[in-house]
Each structure stands twice: as C-alpha cells, then as structure tokens.
C-alpha cells in the first residue's frame, strides 16, 4: 500500500517506521525543517518526503498527524488529492496542559476534530484512529505489554476506509475495535482526553496501553 503522511512529528514518524517495516511505501510531509525531514526519511526503507499535497497525491491512504492549531495550514491544497481516499486522523484537540480540549463535546463546539476534517475534506473517507496510542510506545522496539496487545478504537462512515484502518492498526501490533460512525469521534476524542489525563495523573504516561477486554 502507498501511505501519505501529513505531520512528521512523533506520531507520523513512528507510524511511518512501523508501516515501512511492513513493506508499505511512505511519503512523509509537513515539517518546519525540510533538511531534517529528508535525513529522517533516508533512514526509512522505501520512504520519501514531499509537501502535504504531494503526500496526499502519493497515498492510497493518508494519515493526518499534525498539531490541531496547524490543521488548516496542513490541509491547504490537499482536498482534491484526498477525494475518495481513506484519511486516518489521530489529530487531537487536547490542550497542551491536558486540562480538557479546545474542541469537542466538553466545549461549546460539539463537532469533533475528525468531523471538522471531514467537513474540510468533503470527498475524503475520514477515519479516526490511534488517538489513545502514545507515540513513545509506537517508537519502542516492543509495542506489546507482555503478551497483551493494546486496543485502538476507530470510527468512520465508510466501510472500505475502515477496513484499511483496521488492517493498518493490526499491522502496527494493536487490536482494532470498530466504534461506529464518525460522529462517535466526539466520544472517542473525549475518551482520549480522559486517557491522557489518567496516564499523566498516575505517572504511567507514556508507559500505559489502553486495552478493551473481551470474553
Ligand atoms: N504524541 C502522542 O503520543 C500523540 C498520541 C495521540 C495523538 N496525538 C496527536 O497527533 C498529532 C501529532 O502529534 P505529535 O506528537 O506527532 O506532534 P509533534 O511531534 O509536535 O509533530 C508535529 C509535526 O507537525 C509539524 N509542524 C509543521 N508546522 C508546524 C507548526 N507551525 N507548529 C507545530 N508543528 C508544526 C512539525 O514539524 P517540526 O518537525 O518542524 O517540528 C512536526 O513534524 C497531534 O494532533 C496530537 O495531539 C499525539
């Protein structure tokens, strides 16, 4: 699969490395230091770098992993290239001090970040995923907790895009769990806020994985 990634920070680079190891071709974009980005990409098998528009055109699927305040800048000129494609987002409106969110259910703006992205990219097939997954764990050589796999809840309105998301979640070593439609991103983003607050308060951050037990 060809994966375009917009956001070359902790999350974008970590998932790029994981999926490159799985044999996917990666185009990584959106960093303030293009030279550093090219250096990082050179270490990833089968990876290249480009502008967000180039990454969006390159990908059969696109991952959005940018800070929420930069979302509008990151999406300039990419909407056409995203049309009909799965667009995974882990973008969070969590405040930097973890004291709540800037967008979503607990605020006056009930729209989630993922719904805002779907509004900005009307022809894209947006799926929210990986927003309860800490980048430090993704970057670790072992992502499992003993013999346990953390869960990644995902949601979206397009079944084919959700199937791609589930595949990429499983390939990253997580248990994919379908949370339903994109509207449920409102609850998922709130859960992510609770999850980060819990991990920070207990001191477990970042060495904690969220798992849904089933029997
Ligand atoms: N980190 C986590 O554990 C985690 C977990 C779940 C969800 N998330 C969410 O995933 C998204 C990405 O998180 P992250 O931790 O990967 O972020 P990050 O490490 O700060 O990376 C952000 C990327 O955006 C780029 N960027 C371009 N213009 C920027 C600007 N004006 N200001 C800031 N960054 C700019 C940065 O470029 P430079 O390389 O030049 O800095 C960097 O490549 C966020 O929405 C975050 O809330 C994060």
In total, the chain counts a number of residues equal to 215
Among residues 56, 79, 190, which one has the least CA distance to residue 132? 190
- Ligand 1, from 6, 10, 136, 194: best to mutate by most atoms within 8 Å of Cβ? 10
| 2-202: CATH superfamily | NAD(P)-binding Rossmann-like Domain (3.40.50.720)
User: What is the rounded CA–CA span in Å between residue 61 and residue 159?
Assistant: 14
Q: How many CB atoms lie within 10 A of CB 73?
A: 11
- In the block, residue with structure tokens 């309105």: 157
- Ligand 1, from 67, 134, 172, 200: best to mutate by most atoms within 8 Å of Cβ? 67
Output the pLDDT for position 142.
86
Check: CB of residue 3 under 8 Å from CB of residue 25: yes
Write out pLDDT tens, residues 77-106: 999 999 999 999 999 999 999 999 999 988
Structure-token pair, residue 19: 């999926």
- Ligand 1 atom 30 nearest Cα: 70
Q: What is the mean pLDDT of residues 172-181?
A: 97
Q: Is the pLDDT of residue 14 over 90?
A: yes
Q: What is the mean pLDDT of residues 25-33?
A: 97
Q: Is the pLDDT of residue 41 over 90?
A: yes
Going from the Cα of 65 to the center of ligand 1, the distance in angstroms, rounded, reads: 6
Q: What is the mean pLDDT of residues 11-32?
A: 97
Percent of the chain past pLDDT 90, that is, above it, reads 93
Q: Is the pLDDT of residue 28 over 90?
A: yes
- Ligand 1 atom 22 nearest Cα: 9
Q: Domain locations in the chain? A: 2-202
Q: Is the pLDDT of residue 190 over 90?
A: yes
DSSP for 108-160, written as a single string: S--S-HHHHHHHHSTTSEEEE--TTS-HHHHHSS--SBTTBPPEEEEEES-HH
Output the pLDDT for position 103.
94
Kindly report the backbone phi and psi dihedral angles of residue 83, in degrees, each rounded to the nearest multiple of 5, phi listed first: -60, 130
Write out pLDDT tens, residues 43-81: 998 899 999 999 999 999 999 999 999 999 999 999 999
Write out pLDDT tens, residues 110-156: 999 999 999 999 999 999 999 999 999 999 988 889 999 999 999 99
Contacts of residue 143, defined as CB under 8 A and 6 or more positions apart, other chains included, come to 137, 150, 172, 173, 174
Going from the Cα of 215 to the center of ligand 1, the distance in angstroms, rounded, reads: 36
Structure-token pair, residue 38: 């090219």
Write out pLDDT tens, residues 193-211: 999 999 999 999 999 999 9
Q: Which numbered atom of ligand 1 lies nearest the CA of 132?
A: 6
Q: Which numbered atom of ligand 1 lies nearest the CA of 192?
A: 6
Output the pLDDT for position 19.
97
Output the pLDDT for position 105.
87
Q: Give the angle subtended at the CA of 164 by the CAs of 13 and 192, to the nearest 5°.
A: 60
- Ligand 1 atom 25 nearest Cα: 31
Check: CB of residue 154 under 8 Å from CB of residue 56: no
> To the nearest whole number, what is the mean pLDDT of the chain?
96
Going from the Cα of 179 to the center of ligand 1, the distance in angstroms, rounded, reads: 25
Ligand 1 neighbours, Cβ below 6 Å, are 7-12, 30-33, 65-68, 70, 90-92, 94, 131, 133-135
């Amino acid at each position: 699969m060809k994966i375009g990634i917009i956001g070359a920070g902790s999350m974008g680079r970590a998932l790029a490395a994981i999926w490159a190891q799985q044999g996917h071709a990666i185009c990584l974009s959106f960093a303030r230091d293009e030279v550093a980005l090219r250096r990082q990409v050179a270490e990833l098998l089968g990876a290249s770098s480009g502008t967000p528009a180039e990454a969006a055109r390159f990908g059969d699927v696109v991952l959005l992993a940018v800070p929420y305040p930069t979302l509008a800048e990151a999406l300039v000129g990419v909407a056409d290239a995203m049309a009909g494609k799965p667009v995974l987002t882990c973008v969070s409106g969590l405040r930097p001090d973890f004291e709540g969110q800037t967008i979503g259910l607990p605020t006056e703006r009930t729209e989630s970040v993922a719904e805002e992205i779907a509004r900005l990219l009307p022809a894209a097939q947006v799926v929210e995923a990986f927003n309860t997954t800490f980048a430090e764990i993704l970057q670790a050589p072992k992502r499992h907790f003993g013999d346990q796999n953390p869960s990644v809840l995902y949601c979206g309105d397009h079944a084919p895009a959700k199937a791609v998301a589930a595949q990429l979640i499983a390939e990253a070593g997580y248990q994919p769990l379908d949370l339903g439609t994109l509207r449920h991103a409102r609850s998922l983003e709130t859960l992510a806020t609770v999850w980060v607050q819990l991990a920070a308060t207990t001191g477990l951050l970042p060495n904690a994985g969220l798992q849904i037990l089933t029997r």
